[in-house]
Amino acid sequence: METIKLIPGELTLAQLRKIAAGNVQIDIDDACRERVVIAAGTVEEVLKRGKSVYGINTGFGLMAKTRIDEDSLRDLQRNLVLSHCTGTGDPLSDAVVRLVLALKITSLAAGHSGVRPVVIDTLIALFNHGIYPLIPAKGSVGASGDLAPLAHMSLALIGEAEVRHEGTVISATEGLAKAGVDAVTLAPKEGLALLNGTQVSTALTLFGLFAIEDNFASAVLAGSVSVDAAKGSDTPFDARIHKLRRQPGQIAVAAKYRELLADSEIRRSHADCDRVQDPYSLRCQPQVMGACLDQINHAAAILEREANAVTDNPLIFPDEGDILSGGNFHAEPVAFAADILAIAASEIGAIAERRIALLIDPAMVDLPAFLVENGGLNSGFMIAQVTAAALASENKTLAHPASIDSLPTSANQEDHVSMATFAGRRLADIADNVNGIIAIEMLAACQAIEFRRPMTSSDALEKVIASVRAVAAFYDKDRYFAPDIAAVKALLKSAAIHGYVDDLLPSFA
């Protein structure tokens, strides 16, 4: 099994995608451990000097001016964890929790949080043994970090509450035993270092990014098949057009459409037809999908930086002996990235739904109504397009920016928050909706290609069509439709599909 070294400043999106997928182990390097020990020593030195430092020997939030006596410092950290466990909702998935653990370990390993190595080693042991804290999905506003969900993560370290192992919920005590480690008694600063930070918001948004990358890849393929199915022109993909626009995503996507459609027999069959222009959902794909790709890349860059960031508070600077209180826990960059991804994904689905509507309409293309023979007796793709429309419409609501909302918390001490956690969490629903839309488009486009036989599409697209036909047969008459959609949804998430386009995607680059 591959072991990924979590090195602060060097963690990549490709590594994070592997972590989300599972079947990897993690560790940190020796240089990180040295920095962690030095930072923990700085905390001890400050306590010896009797200086008041937020969260180390004071209360929290509005009670930051309350000095805590030395005998109660360990209780302070434990109480912090317990009192902040106020989350609600279903637990986060194992994939998201793996990301949360990896991100928190990376942040702590930078040596600016003041925790002892035992805290990091215990988190690593939990990850490597598949012991995943039960983290409720709801309860964070994305500042002061993801307090409630990270508190639930931290419960496992102190032997409280429950964890999940191989899909079964067990006690945290049993989980620690399976991982071969003891419960941690938190030292000064450690509870705060665990709870502060943007790791849950970032993990949720990364999980959404990876799903939206898969959406993008499958939409480019489905859109290419739709061009041939509708006997659309490849002239709008000419490199000269896109060079004049100067938008990098558009240029790259147009090149991909040219590559996928190259040497199509169907295209050659109507090269001299009298159609002047295709509908926008066909010919403007480079402009729309290219813009989406640019935004995906922009959001991905923000998230990769955030994955390598130190976002708890206060921060330890051992070289100067300083402990500084700031606001790196505010997840505004993550909220913006999530909102950008939500809009891009929704547009990917919106234009795909329009291509479905095009393919089923005999007034627009020379194909049977609703892509089925013996229409009337058979309804064909009529209601499948309705489903796609419903999903696209739902995404319009889900894509409303979360970052523009803020409610003050903690008696107005935390008077502006990011809402990044919800911004990231709703990406999974958006991506699943888009996955459904594109699955329907892929089925419709492959169905339409069958009406063009014996002519063939390009070699690349014929391989894609064969992959679809391996899980969903030609729709010769009405049958139970939902299993076909479910099968193609699963296919579109696989390497068999995104492998054609992954050279454009940030977590594959």
Q: Is 54 a catalytic residue?
A: yes
Average pLDDT over residues 130-140: 97
Tell the residue number behind the tokens 């990235």, with chain if given. Answer: 337
CB 340 within 8 A of CB 294: no
- How confident is the model over 175-225, as pLDDT tens digits? 999 999 999 999 999 999 999 999 999 999 999 999 999 999 999 999 999
Q: Is the pLDDT of residue 69 over 90?
A: no
Higher pLDDT, 60 or 115: 115
Paired tokens of 12: 């990549």
In angstroms, the CA 97 to CA 103 distance is: 10
Q: For 4-13, 149-158, 366-375, 408-417, which range has the lowest pLDDT when averaged over its residues?
A: 408-417
Higher pLDDT, 463 or 508: 463
Q: What local confidence, expressed as pLDDT, does residue 392 receive?
A: 98
Prediction pTM value: 0.96
Q: Is the pLDDT of residue 410 over 80?
A: no
Q: What local confidence, expressed as pLDDT, does residue 414 receive?
A: 78
Q: Is the pLDDT of residue 257 over 80?
A: yes
User: Measured in whole angstroms, how far is the alpha carbon of residue 50 from the centre of its chain?
Assistant: 44
Strand 315-317 versus strand 322-324 pairing type: antiparallel
- How confident is the model over 2-33, as pLDDT tens digits? 999 999 999 999 999 999 999 999 999 989 99
Which listed residue (54, 132, 257, 475) is catalytic? 54
**Which phi and psi angles does 141 have, rounded to 5°?**
-105, 5
Q: Which residues contact 314 (CB under 8 A, 6 or more apart)?
A: 53, 54, 55, 56, 323, 324, 325, 326
Q: Which residues contact 47 (CB under 8 A, 6 or more apart)?
A: 56, 57, 70, 73, 188
